[in-house]
Structure 1
Amino acid sequence: MRKLIYLTIMAGLVLMSCQNNKEYKVRGEVANEAFEGTNVYLQKMTDDAMIITDTSVVRNGEFSFSGNAEVAELRFVTLDETVNAEHDIRVPVLIEPGKINVSFDTIVTVGGTEVNNAYNNMRQEQQALVKQIREVVERFNAAQSEGTLTESLEAEVNQEYDNINKQLIELNYNFAKNNINNELGQYLFITSSSMFEPDQQRDILNNASDSFKAKENVKHIVGRLDNLERVAIGKKFVDFTLADPQGNEVSLSDYAGQGKYVLVDFWAAWCGPCRREMPYVVSAYEKYKSKGFEVVGVSFDQDHETWTQGIKDLNMTWPQMSDLQYWSSPVVDLYAIVGIPHTILLDKEGVIIEKNLRGDSLEAKLAELMP
């Protein structure tokens, strides 16, 4: 009888142990007293919206969630959005068995389990790099507004920006690659994929599960990646037909592959960086158009008058085309464009030889091609 009782107790302990192996506990801290007594939400992201899966309350600057995690899943810990806060009020967390810590302060941190610790370390490095980028941009803007921006300073600032940005890309790439089979790594990949080079995206996806690659938003990324490779340097241009300012149909092939070097400039009148870049394009066009250089402007504007006024204001005397569909234009996906200005330089046969030449680099390349 004693043996039977002993075995029953041991079986119960084993069962409890198995159950506890799936238990998670989230312990959170909120430094801002304005959140005292307000709700904190554990949310799941769907294709349509954020769905609340659990609710807690901030008491004495603390809150908590607990439950069982059958599988590790991505959730977002979100503070009350009605409270005016200077810092982040939402942070992604991988809900997995174990103790998870979340702290909302001037810096938001999350940790406690292996994946969350790794994400937190990456996130802190990420924020430090973003801060450096902001400082570089502020330095550039200050010099520009004060009239002290020299060519050498601009080149120095651009190089510094590029170096920091490369570190940021590498940081995101490494985390996404190493965590592509958990939902936190998948979330980072989906939200950051456009910053990765095509070979980096393929490398990450090669390690991903079939179920992840079957998701609609991932299919879209793969489709964009296919388009990127179709219009990579060394590939011939992909033709499309839009309307010129007078409403006549024109095709890229009317200019590309016709024996001239052609810069295809994707822009919009509402785009500040496009406007700042345009004087360099105008200068290059005036200098090299007689030597066999052409520019074709492709606008992502929505309004015809705004588009044509932009052409006039920016002294753009080269061919223009648009369907006035903004980011819904089929050209966006066709050329895998994620931001403007975006340019591609075609050789005389219509082969892509350069992309996104900025500032004086366009004239430098043309000087090399047409001495």
Structure 2
Amino acid sequence: MFNNTRIMFLFILSILFFSCSEKKINSIQFKISGITDSIYNGSYVFLANDELLDSVQIVDNRFDFMGTVKSPTYSRIFIKATSETKWFWLENTKISFFIPDHDFSNAMVKGGKAQEMANLHYTKNESLFRSIDSLYNVYSIKVNELSLEEKGHIRALSRSLSDRTIKNTQDFVRTYPNCYESILTLNANRRSWGSEMTDNLFSKMADSIKETKYGKLLKRYLSLHSNLEIGDNYIDFEQENMYGEIVKFSDLKKKYTLIEFWASWCIPCRESNPKLMELHRKYNKDGFEIVAISLDENKQKWIDAIKKDQLEWINLTDYKFNDNAAAIIYNVNGIPDNILIDEEGVIVNRKVDAKTLEVKLESDLY
């Protein structure tokens, strides 16, 4: 109780300190004024987003950043040597940043309108998050003492709490459609919520929100996404090979073509490559092809993985991670994943394992 009171007192004190600062900042600039626990004295704290990377040293438990952003930008503050990070909305205004007991994940941020809505969003689920964390801690600590019935009860309760957070989050987006927090949240959950709900919520948003970075990503997603199933015809696409050439998928398909979704950083993907290579070498001459679509963003890491794994099949990417066009078209929610297409262009299998694939090829190609 005393610790929580101390934290709140320091946070209020920090806000008063920031508001009484002698230097008045320009109305088109941001100024982040942070207070941390003394453990971080002398360390460097970083501010980062897609367009910015800056760092300052913490002195006397304080740090400051100043600059300009074109519009509210989802950003993070972190200490490079640790995994501690706090995401927040960076806006051209005064922003107070207080880190209680060097706990970045629970940092208190007070800023502009976008951050105000983010804080409101968090409060909708705060108690549920704490309940889920408590269940996780109980399960982790007492896992060997719990009966099967007790474990099942905890898992069921956890799922119920998670479902409630999802509903609360959807209600938030529905209630406050025209804020940056809502468009960010909708884009982040587009796959798990499904295209129908995503499209419905997106349609209620103002044009100004739809033209933000996340709004444009959602427009692209909704225009590309399809609910293809086994028995449906494939949808064509084109991407870049490792030599920078644009290649069209329809020019590559054979009697059987496996579209394999992977990435250099995906360990299960890399582990499955040797067996797939065996099948490719054995059946390629008889009409089997693999077209591997990487979700990599870094070209060199992608190429290095291709060379290290000695991947002789066709490798393509558009360097857009989860926004890879082919991954959106084929509703890829995690990797590894794959689609098997026959010579007529019909999808005949999904998430097919190497053993099942081998039986199929051995039966149909010989």
Residue 226 of structure 2: SS of its match in structure 1? helix
Matched letter for residue 313 of structure 1: K
Alpha carbons 2:239, 2:248 under 8 Å: kept = yes
Q: Which residue of 2 aligns with 1:327?
A: 320
User: Is structure 2 residue 223 aligned with structure 1 residue 226?
Assistant: yes
Matches within 5 A, 1:55-204: 79-80=97-98, 84-85=102-103, 87-90=105-108, 118-124=124-130, 127=133, 170-171=163-164, 173-179=166-172, 180-182=174-176, 183=179, 188-204=185-201
| Structure with greater Cα Rg | 1
In 2: Cα distance, 1:169 partner to 1:348 partner: 43
In 2: Cα distance, 1:369 partner to 1:128 partner: 50
The structural deviation recorded for 1:221 is 0.9
Could you tell me which of 249, 256, 259 is aligned with 2:255? 259
In 1: Cα distance, 2:134 partner to 2:273 partner: 32
Alpha carbons 1:263, 1:345 under 8 Å: kept = yes
Judging changes above 3 Å, is the alpha-carbon distance between structure 1 residues 35 and 278 closer, same or farther for their aligned structure 2 residues? farther
Q: Which runs of 5+ in 1 are unaligned?
A: 1-27, 56-77, 101-109, 140-162
Q: Which residue of 2 aligns with 1:10?
A: none
Alpha carbons 2:237, 2:326 under 8 Å: kept = no
Matched letter for residue 235 of structure 2: F
Alpha carbons 2:100, 2:106 under 8 Å: kept = no
Judging changes above 3 Å, is the alpha-carbon distance between structure 1 residues 226 and 369 closer, same or farther for their aligned structure 2 residues? farther
Judging changes above 3 Å, is the alpha-carbon distance between structure 1 residues 297 and 185 closer, same or farther for their aligned structure 2 residues? closer
In 2: Cα distance, 1:92 partner to 1:339 partner: 35
Q: Which residue of 1 aligns with 2:269?
A: 274
Alpha carbons 1:284, 1:363 under 8 Å: kept = no
Q: Which residue of 2 aligns with 1:236?
A: 234
The structural deviation recorded for 1:319 is 2.6
CA deviation map 1:201-242 (0-9, x unaligned): 235446x34558644323421321221128676342323153
Alpha carbons 1:263, 1:344 under 8 Å: kept = yes
Matched letter for residue 325 of structure 2: D
Judging changes above 3 Å, is the alpha-carbon distance between structure 1 residues 249 and 276 closer, same or farther for their aligned structure 2 residues? same
The structural deviation recorded for 1:279 is 3.7
Alpha carbons 1:241, 1:251 under 8 Å: kept = yes
Judging changes above 3 Å, is the alpha-carbon distance between structure 1 residues 82 and 353 closer, same or farther for their aligned structure 2 residues? farther
The structural deviation recorded for 1:332 is 1.6
In 1: Cα distance, 2:159 partner to 2:252 partner: 35
In 1: Cα distance, 2:208 partner to 2:162 partner: 22
CA deviation map 1:42-96 (0-9, x unaligned): 99994336137667xxxxxxxxxxxxxxxxxxxxxx633698335421479999x
Alpha carbons 2:183, 2:209 under 8 Å: kept = no
Normalising by structure 2, we get a TM-score of: 0.52
In 2: Cα distance, 1:370 partner to 1:166 partner: 42
Q: Which residue of 2 aligns with 1:38?
A: 14
In 1: Cα distance, 2:311 partner to 2:248 partner: 18
Task: Give the root-mean-square deviation of aligned CA atoms.
Answer: 5.2
Could you tell me which of 293, 312, 318 is aligned with 1:298? 293
Alpha carbons 2:242, 2:303 under 8 Å: kept = no
Judging changes above 3 Å, is the alpha-carbon distance between structure 1 residues 50 and 320 closer, same or farther for their aligned structure 2 residues? closer
The structural deviation recorded for 1:170 is 4.6
Residue 106 of structure 2: SS of its match in structure 1? coil
Matched letter for residue 175 of structure 1: N
Normalising by structure 1, we get a TM-score of: 0.51
The structural deviation recorded for 1:178 is 2.4
In 2: Cα distance, 1:31 partner to 1:231 partner: 52
CA deviation map 1:278-328 (0-9, x unaligned): 245335546765765321123446446x54542232232323345xx6328
Judging changes above 3 Å, is the alpha-carbon distance between structure 1 residues 242 and 35 closer, same or farther for their aligned structure 2 residues? same
Q: Which runs of 5+ in 2 are unaligned?
A: 20-29, 33-68, 74-88, 144-155
Alpha carbons 2:261, 2:335 under 8 Å: kept = yes
Residue 325 of structure 2: SS of its match in structure 1? helix
In 1: Cα distance, 2:160 partner to 2:279 partner: 32
% of aligned pairs identical?
17
Alpha carbons 1:173, 1:196 under 8 Å: kept = no
Alpha carbons 1:297, 1:321 under 8 Å: kept = yes
Judging changes above 3 Å, is the alpha-carbon distance between structure 1 residues 93 and 218 closer, same or farther for their aligned structure 2 residues? same
Judging changes above 3 Å, is the alpha-carbon distance between structure 1 residues 309 and 221 closer, same or farther for their aligned structure 2 residues? closer
Matched letter for residue 242 of structure 1: E
Matched letter for residue 51 of structure 1: E
Judging changes above 3 Å, is the alpha-carbon distance between structure 1 residues 192 and 230 closer, same or farther for their aligned structure 2 residues? closer
Alpha carbons 2:94, 2:111 under 8 Å: kept = no
Judging changes above 3 Å, is the alpha-carbon distance between structure 1 residues 169 and 369 closer, same or farther for their aligned structure 2 residues? farther
